[in-house]
Amino acid sequence: MLNENMKAIRKSKGLSQQELAIKLNVVRQTISKWEQGLSVPDSDMLIAISEVLETPVSTLLGEKVIAAEADDLKAISAKLEVINLQLAQRKTTRRRVLHGLLISLCAVIAVVFAFLLMQKSLYLDWDYSDPETAVLGVAFHSFEWLFVRVAPIILVGAIAGVFLTRKKG
Instruction: Please give the full DSSP string across 11-38, using - where no structure is assigned.
Output: HHTT--HHHHHHHHTS-HHHHHHHHHTS
Q: Which of 80-89, 96-105, 120-129 has the lowest mean pLDDT?
A: 120-129
Q: What is the tens place of the pLDDT at every residue in 143-169? A: 888 988 999 999 999 999 999 988 775
CA distances from residue 114 to 64, 80, 102, 154, 162 in whole angstroms, order as listed: 74, 51, 18, 16, 21
Confidence tier at 66 by pLDDT (50, 70, 90): low
Confidence tier at 75 by pLDDT (50, 70, 90): confident
Q: What is the reported pLDDT for 97?
A: 95
Q: What is the reported pLDDT for 120?
A: 75
Residue 25 has pLDDT above 60, yes or no: yes
Q: What is the pTM of this model?
A: 0.48
Q: Which one of 56-65, 78-87, 111-120 scores highest in mean pLDDT?
A: 78-87
Average pLDDT over residues 91-113: 93
**Can you tell me the distance from the alpha carbon of 154 to that of 108, in angstroms, rounded to the nearest whole number?**
11
Residue 43 has pLDDT above 90, yes or no: no
Q: What is the reported pLDDT for 154?
A: 94
